[in-house]
């Protein structure tokens, strides 16, 4: 009964496997609150940690074309399943790797697995809804999938804190890896896809995908809306330099490591309903570009405020507040972005955007790790507030009428 009140009956009938899959992974993916501190505890410098994370961000770019061809040849569903299953397997073995070069290789494989899902996951759902003449549910899907993921994050943070407290940090990789592999198997058996198999070889599809990628790249960077959404997203990703800093910053303030999961859960609990406010808030701003620009200004101000924070409680509040712009931005920007893309290049344009964002995230992490070893984690967070400011300018440059 409660489920039916939350979901439209047609929506639940079509999308329930995707929603449950997101809930399962969100609830048992307990890595994020402890990732940086795990590698720091085994002796890696911030620069080494950020290099690993940058590899994770950037390496999928090398595989975008062949994995895109794979999705065209065998279906987006199969591409997502393969990518996520090997993603779970990869992170499961991370604590077994004892040297830095081995970790570099594993993170490259992690990046490869994510390239199978990049662009294909959203395109899979959007095209399925269009095929069933349920395009009106696209916005609902992007809103609810984020809200479900946030609910799962509440569970994962608490679960992670309990497990880390009693079993140590290694447990985060084993639990997360098993959960991803099992939920991926579940998605394979219960999800549906609208896909017409291409009558071409993998090599010809690879060439075709490369050409499609060039077409999509040109389309995205010549489009008067998509161009600025992509560039804005690039600079927002530069705030990821703070991702390497928050956990050691909390530790420097005296917060116990196992408590990080509770902070993560508190953040997810507070923002869980925010995606539902995105649409009514957008009406107040009337245009997407003003709405998005305001959110990034808010993000920048919160990051700058960390300079004046010396209290663990205020630091946690700031950490939670930086989630607000992302949760409010996502559903609006995702729907807005999809609005301007033709069906036949939807997945490849999504891949172009993902590529640019990954480059931005990789660059920011490298900068963040380098700075953290020099000026400390706190100042890295403060500096990240400066790097996101150009995104405001790009959003305001959007001109739909062209």
How far from the centroid of its chain's Cα atoms is residue 293's Cα? 20
pLDDT band for 247, please (50, 70, 90 cuts).
very high
| Distance separating alpha carbons of residues 85 and 185, to the nearest angstrom | 8
- With 0-12 CB in 10 A as exposed, 13-18 as middle and 19+ as buried, what is 55? buried
Residues 352-380: what's their mean pLDDT? 89
Residues 112-117: what's their mean pLDDT? 85
Report whether pLDDT(4) > 70. Answer: no
The pLDDT value given to residue 133? 77
Distances, alpha carbon 24 to alpha carbons 30, 85, 111, 181, in Å: 11, 14, 22, 11
Residues 189-197: what's their mean pLDDT? 75
Q: Which domains does the chain have, with CATH numbers?
A: 13-396 (1.20.1250.20)
What is the tens place of the pLDDT at every residue in 149-174? 878 889 999 999 999 999 999 999 99
Q: What is the pTM of this model?
A: 0.79
Task: Say if CB 238 and CB 387 are below 8 A apart.
Answer: yes
- For residues 63 and 391, the model is more confident at 391
Q: Is 159 left (phi over 0), alpha (psi -120 to 50) or beta?
A: alpha
Report whether pLDDT(24) > 80. Answer: yes
Q: Quote the percentage of the chain above a pLDDT of 70.
A: 92
The pLDDT value given to residue 95? 93
What is the tens place of the pLDDT at every residue in 256-295? 999 999 999 998 888 877 878 888 888 888 888 999 999 9
pLDDT band for 401, please (50, 70, 90 cuts).
low
pLDDT band for 190, please (50, 70, 90 cuts).
confident
Report whether pLDDT(205) > 70. Answer: no
């Amino acid at each position: 009964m409660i489920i039916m009140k939350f979901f439209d009956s047609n929506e639940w009938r079509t999308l329930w496997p995707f929603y449950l899959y997101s809930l399962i992974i969100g609830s048992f993916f307990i890595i994020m609150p402890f990732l940086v501190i795990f590698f720091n505890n085994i002796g890696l410098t911030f620069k080494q940690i950020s290099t690993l994370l940058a590899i994770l961000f950037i390496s999928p770019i090398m595989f975008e074309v062949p994995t895109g061809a794979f999705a065209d040849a065998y279906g987006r569903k199969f591409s997502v399943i393969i990518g996520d299953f090997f993603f779970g397997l990869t992170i499961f073995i991370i604590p077994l790797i004892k040297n830095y070069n081995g970790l570099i290789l594993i993170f490259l494989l992690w990046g490869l697995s994510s390239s199978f899902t990049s662009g294909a996951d959203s395109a899979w759902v959007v095209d399925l809804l269009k095929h069933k003449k349920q395009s009106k549910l696209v916005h609902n899907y992007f809103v609810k999938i984020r809200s479900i993921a946030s609910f799962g994050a509440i569970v994962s943070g608490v679960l992670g804190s309990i497990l880390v407290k009693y079993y140590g940090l290694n447990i985060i990789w084993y639990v997360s890896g098993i959960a991803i592999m099992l939920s991926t198997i579940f998605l394979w058996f219960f999800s549906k896809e609208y896909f017409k198999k291409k009558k071409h070889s993998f090599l010809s599809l690879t060439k075709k995908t490369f050409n499609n990628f060039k077409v999509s790249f040109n389309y995205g960077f010549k489009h008067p809306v998509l161009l600025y959404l992509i560039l804005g997203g690039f600079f927002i990703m530069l705030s990821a330099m703070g991702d390497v800093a928050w956990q050691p910053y909390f530790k420097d303030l005296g917060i116990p490591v196992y408590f990080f999961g509770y902070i993560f859960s508190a953040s997810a609990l507070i923002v869980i309903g925010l995606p539902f406010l995105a649409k009514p808030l957008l009406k107040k701003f009337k245009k997407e570009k003003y709405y998005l620009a305001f959110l990034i200004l808010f993000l920048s101000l919160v990051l700058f405020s960390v300079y004046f924070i010396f209290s663990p409680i205020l630091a946690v509040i700031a950490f939670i507040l930086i989630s607000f712009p992302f949760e409010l931005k996502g559903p609006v920007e995702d729907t807005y972005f999809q609005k301007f893309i033709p069906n036949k290049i939807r997945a490849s344009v999504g891949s172009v955007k993902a590529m640019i964002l990954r480059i931005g995230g990789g660059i920011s992490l490298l900068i963040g790790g380098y700075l953290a070893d020099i000026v400390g984690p706190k100042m890295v967070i403060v500096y990240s507030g400066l790097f996101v400011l150009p995104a405001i300018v790009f959003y305001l440059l959007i001109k739909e009428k062209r």
